[in-house]
Amino acid sequence: MTSPLELLSVEHLLSEEERDLRDAVAHFVDDRVRPSIADWYEDGLSEGAVRELALEAGKLGLLGMHLTGYGCAGTNAVSYGLACMELEAGDSGVRSLVSVQGSLAMFAIWKFGSEEQKQRWLPGMAAGELIGCFGLTEPDFGSNPAGMRTRARRDGDDWVLDGTKMWITNGTVADVAVVWARCDDGAVRGFLVPAGTPGFSAPKIGKKLSLRASVTSELVLEGVRLPADAVLPEVSSLRGPLSCLNEARFGIVFGALGAARDCLAAAISYAQTREVFDRPLASFQLTQAKLADMALELQKGYLLALHLGRLKDAEKLTPQQVSLGKLNNVREALAIARECRTILGANGITLEYPVLRHANNLESVLTYEGTSEVHQLVIGQALTGESAFS
Ligand SMILES: Cc1cc2nc3c(=O)[nH]c(=O)nc-3n(C[C@H](O)[C@H](O)[C@H](O)COP(=O)(O)OP(=O)(O)OC[C@H]3O[C@@H](n4cnc5c(N)ncnc54)[C@H](O)[C@@H]3O)c2cc1C
């Protein structure tokens, strides 16, 4: 029997170093995520568990791993992608923790911060001792962040922030929030808001049916006074947060395949042992057709991810190409997770098996970092030269 990800021997396209790193992350997921994930999902991941996971991910060098300096591992983009794939095979929530920390919060500081800001925050964040979050989305502005209502006004040398951010991963547990706000001069700037700053709070969002093993929060800013050096000096437009999102999206191109692979492995193993009409479910043609089609999409997605990773390492990857990868691989991963659920029948709806948990998680993944519709519009614009966003 061939493993679902090895039908095409994509493995041979990876370097030994990339394979070693991937295997180390897979072991971490086996040891630390799989034994607890059903409970984390059912109960909601506690803030203490987020901190523990961050410290362990930091020890493994996974936080900001594709950045250089300041305690970051400095791996290539493909290695980062493979790490995301293994983490998301555990759970999209765990991958989200690593993505938000490295590709959103740390990347924003690394790319647009002052030397002092980098020295203050990045080494602790790379070690997982400090947690960051990234506040762009607002209650009324998700796909269209240009409409944001959060304001930053100058008051002497200080900045004063007012507004609300919504759906912010790790907001409640973060030591520092990267908050994007529109300033008096119309520019969009990023601000580093340390936890505990008067006027700043981050209540947890409850009653989620997806990404339950991840903390999601609101950020409330009421007259939050920050010193002059809280602003990220190297960016003054939406280009800043959008470039961070592009980094995180790249990880999702690989990550979503991890969730799909985990579902497919569960479905194959279930079909081999479950007997229906006195024969293993795996021996029926309809089941094999489902499995074959899913394995096919998984292979194609993996090749696509790897191609984009090699382009990124060659510094040739465009945002449109990342949109293509995110759109395809998340959409297909979600379809695979749902199809696998059918193979598991009623057992598929429980947390004894990973399939519905992954499917529910992938609903969020389909929406965050640019919805599938927004990525279709990005690709449509690239194809036609016409913007259909508004
Ligand atoms: C679990 C989770 C974690 C998240 N973490 C973060 C985080 O850490 N930081 C952060 O800033 N945000 C985060 N988000 C927010 C996420 O990025 C937004 O939900 C996303 O951008 C979509 O925005 P929205 O939910 O407001 O949907 P909307 O923008 O209101 O979209 C609603 C629907 O309209 C469609 N639509 C929108 N515009 C168009 C158009 N022009 N043409 C056609 N259709 C359109 C969308 O595709 C979607 O189907 C998170 C979300 C979730 C679910």
User: pLDDT tens across 65-118, in order?
Assistant: 999 999 999 999 999 999 999 999 999 999 999 999 999 999 999 999 999 999
Closest residue by CA, ligand 1 atom 22: 142
Protein residue whose Cα sits closest to atom 47 of ligand 1: 373
Specify the residue with its C-alpha closest to ligand 1, atom 41: 389
pLDDT band for position 1 (cuts 50, 70, 90): low
Secondary-structure percent of the chain, ordered helix, strand, coil, rounded to 5: 55, 15, 30
Q: How is residue 343 written in tokens? A: 């193979």
SS3 letters across 143-170: CCHHHCCCEEEEECCEEEEEEEEEEEEC
**Helix, strand, or coil here: 22?**
helix
- Which residues fall within 8 angstroms of residue 273, CB to CB, at 6 or more apart? 280
Residues 106, 125: contact at Cβ < 8 Å? yes
Bridge-based pairing state of the strands 132-135 and 158-169: unpaired
Catalytic residue among 88, 138, 339, 369: 369
209-246 pLDDT, tens digit per residue, is: 999 999 999 999 999 999 999 999 999 999 999 999 99
| Residue of 168, 371, 390 with the most ligand 1 atoms within 8 Å of its CB, for mutation | 371
Alpha carbon of 151 to ligand 1 centroid (Å): 20
Which residue owns the Cα nearest ligand 1 atom 30? 142
For residue 140, report the distance from its CA to the centre of ligand 1, in Å: 10
Please, what is the end-to-end C-alpha distance for the chain in angstroms? 50
Distance of CA 261 to the CA centre of its chain: 17
Domains within the chain, CATH numbers bracketed: 11-127 (1.10.540.10), 132-235 (2.40.110.10), 239-384 (1.20.140.10)
Is residue 306 helix, strand or coil? helix
Cα–Cα distance for residue pair 360/365, rounded to 1 Å: 9
Note the Cα 273 to chain centre separation in Å: 34
Identity of residue 236? S
| Tokens 């907001």 found at | 171
Q: How confident is the model at residue 6 (pLDDT cuts 50, 70, 90)?
A: confident
Cα(374)–Cα(255) distance, rounded to whole angstroms?
19
Residue nearest to atom 4 of ligand 1 (CA): 167
Residue 2, pLDDT > 70, answer no
Confidence band, pLDDT 50/70/90 cuts, at residue 3 = confident
Mean pLDDT, residues 367-388 taken together: 98
Give tens-digit pLDDT for 108-145.
Answer: 999 999 999 999 999 999 999 999 999 999 999 999 99
**What per-residue confidence (pLDDT) applies to 7?**
85
Q: Which residues line ligand 1 at a C-beta cut-off of 6 Å? A: 100, 134-137, 142-143, 167-169, 211, 216, 364, 367-368, 371, 373-374, 377, 389
Q: Is 373 marked active-site?
A: no
**Number of helices and strands in the chain (H, E):** 12, 9
Which atom of ligand 1 approaches the CA of 388 most closely? Answer: 41
- Position 8 scores a pLDDT of 86
Q: Chain-wide mean pLDDT for the chain?
A: 97
Range 108-129 burial, b when 16+ CB lie within 10 A, else e: bbbbbbeeebbebbbbbbbbbe
Q: What is the pLDDT of residues 296-308, one digit of tens each?
A: 999 999 999 999 9
250 C-alpha to center of ligand 1: Å?
17
At 4, the pLDDT band (50, 70, 90 cuts) reads low
Cα of 368 vs centre of ligand 1, distance in Å, is 6
DSSP string of 272-283, one letter each residue? HH-EETTEEGGG
Q: Is the dihedral of CA 358, 362, 363, 365 positive or negative?
A: positive
CA–CA separation, 373 and 353 (whole Å): 30
Percent of the chain with pLDDT over 90: 97
Residue 188 alpha carbon to ligand 1 centre in Å: 19
Q: What is the pLDDT of residue 5?
A: 66
DSSP run (H or E) holding 248:
helix 239-273
Q: In terms of Cα–Cα distance, which of 230, 172, 238 is closest to 200?
A: 172
Grade residue 11 by pLDDT with cuts at 50, 70 and 90: confident
- Residue 23 pLDDT > 90: yes
* DSSP 8-state symbol, 348: G
